[in-house]
């Protein structure tokens, strides 16, 4: 359904879509939009049938929503539901797509690289493998604010060298905002050092330390599942997390998705790339507005717009159609 709509959509020249990762989920997400657009519940029904359990029930009740094996398929489905509503309402096809961590899978489904059914099964497995790699309570993640990237990398290297455990820079989210991940004691040690160096440190409520060396065993198992999943080159340009580049062949795409489990999310570089390519409008296609808020701080972004309520969706649709010259 959405592939036909995508072919008919007008092409944007200065708009990019971004898809959020874990942390953007909340119980009751998209409930308001589901009352108005059957595409929301239809998308959840399609994904639930593929995966074998009721994703809409988890999204609405919140039960199990923060367990990564459920968080990932629920968020991906929510993003694709919003994408389908956007196209149904006559929204433009963005010039670029990018997804933060798990969101990269949402972007690939939106761009036609893999089916929704295959993707929800894949990210469900991704969640299970991630959780299995590090037992509950042994890993941690934290946001380090107010230090530059080089300082954070140095602190991680210092603590790892001291033998407190493994810790890495996991997400480069924006200037002065880097998320670290690794073994709990090592993460806490870097947090303490960051505060001594006039930075701030905030522990994140996650069950798994993503995008760090501890995820290598999970990545090796995950690579096998990726090999067995039908993947095509996307119909729209999708910027990858690991290198802030666009894959030119399917093998490179699979490789980047495997590496993404244990390598850093290069979000700062991704947003810089979009600005360098003349993107001025960012639309966040998923629950919440975490990525829109990060984009608002960037010098060349005119507006960053979330989609996850009726009023936000209408505002984004009007703003983008006017900006792209589709309506006066």
CATH no., domain 2-133+214-323:
3.40.366.10
Q: Scanning the structure block, which residue is given the tokens 């941690």?
A: 140
Task: Classify residue 26 by its DSSP letter.
Answer: -
User: Would you call 262 helix, strand, or coil by DSSP?
Assistant: coil
- Burial of 286 from C-beta contacts in 10 A (0-12 / 13-18 / 19+): buried
Which of 2, 100, 210, 211 is flagged as catalytic? 211
Residue range 317-328: mean pLDDT, rounded: 92
Rounded distance, CA 48 to CA 53, Å? 5
Say which CATH topology domain 139-206 has: Alpha-Beta Plaits (3.30.70)
For 132-154, the pLDDT digits (tens) are: 999 888 999 999 999 999 999 99
Among this protein's residues, is 211 annotated catalytic? Answer: yes
Residue 328 has pLDDT above 80, yes or no: no
Is the whole model's pTM more than 0.85, yes or no?
Answer: yes
Which of 2, 24, 48, 101 is flagged as catalytic? 101
Among this protein's residues, is 101 annotated catalytic? Answer: yes
For 241-258, the pLDDT digits (tens) are: 999 999 889 999 999 999
What are the extents of the domains in the chain? 2-133+214-323, 139-206
What residues contact 65, with CB distance under 8 A and at least 6 apart?
25, 26, 27, 58, 59, 71, 74
Residue range 263-282: mean pLDDT, rounded: 98
Residue 1 has pLDDT above 80, yes or no: no
Rounded distance, CA 314 to CA 86, Å? 10
Residue 106 has pLDDT above 70, yes or no: yes
pLDDT of residue 207: 78
Are 230 and 122 in contact by the 8 Å Cβ rule? The answer is: no
Rounded distance, CA 124 to CA 72, Å? 6
């Amino acid at each position: 359904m959405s592939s036909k709509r995508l072919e008919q959509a007008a092409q944007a020249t200065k708009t990019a879509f971004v898809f959020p990762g874990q942390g953007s989920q909340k119980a009751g997400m998209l409930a308001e939009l589901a009352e108005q657009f059957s595409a929301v519940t239809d998308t959840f029904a399609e994904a639930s049938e593929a995966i074998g359990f009721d994703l809409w029930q988890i999204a609405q009740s919140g039960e199990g929503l923060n367990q990564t094996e459920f968080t990932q398929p629920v968020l991906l489905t929510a993003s694709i539901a919003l994408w389908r509503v956007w196209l149904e309402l006559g929204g433009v096809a963005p010039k670029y797509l990018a997804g933060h961590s798990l969101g990269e899978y949402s972007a690939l489904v939106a761009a036609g690289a893999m089916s929704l059914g295959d993707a929800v099964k894949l990210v469900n497995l991704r969640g299970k493998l991630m959780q299995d790699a590090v037992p509950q309570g042994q890993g941690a993640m934290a946001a380090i604010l107010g230090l530059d990237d080089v300082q954070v990398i140095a602190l991680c290297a210092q603590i790892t060298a001291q033998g407190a455990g493994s810790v890495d820079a996991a997400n480069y989210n924006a200037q002065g905002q880097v998320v670290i991940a690794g073994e709990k004691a090592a993460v806490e040690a870097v947090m303490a050092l960051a505060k001594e160096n006039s930075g701030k440190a905030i522990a994140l409520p996650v069950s798994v330390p993503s995008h760090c060396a501890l995820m290598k065993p999970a990545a090796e198992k995950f690579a096998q599942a990726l090999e067995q999943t039908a993947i095509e080159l996307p119909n729209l340009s999708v910027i990858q997390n690991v290198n802030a580049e666009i894959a030119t062949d399917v093998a490179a795409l699979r490789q980047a998705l495997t590496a993404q489990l244990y390598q850093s999310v290069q979000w700062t570089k991704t947003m810089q790339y979009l600005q360098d390519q003349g993107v001025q409008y960012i639309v966040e296609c998923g629950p919440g507005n975490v990525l829109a808020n990060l984009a608002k701080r960037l010098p060349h972004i005119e507006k960053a717009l979330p989609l996850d309520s009726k009023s936000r969706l209408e505002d984004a649709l009007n703003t983008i159609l006017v900006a792209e010259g589709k309506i006066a």
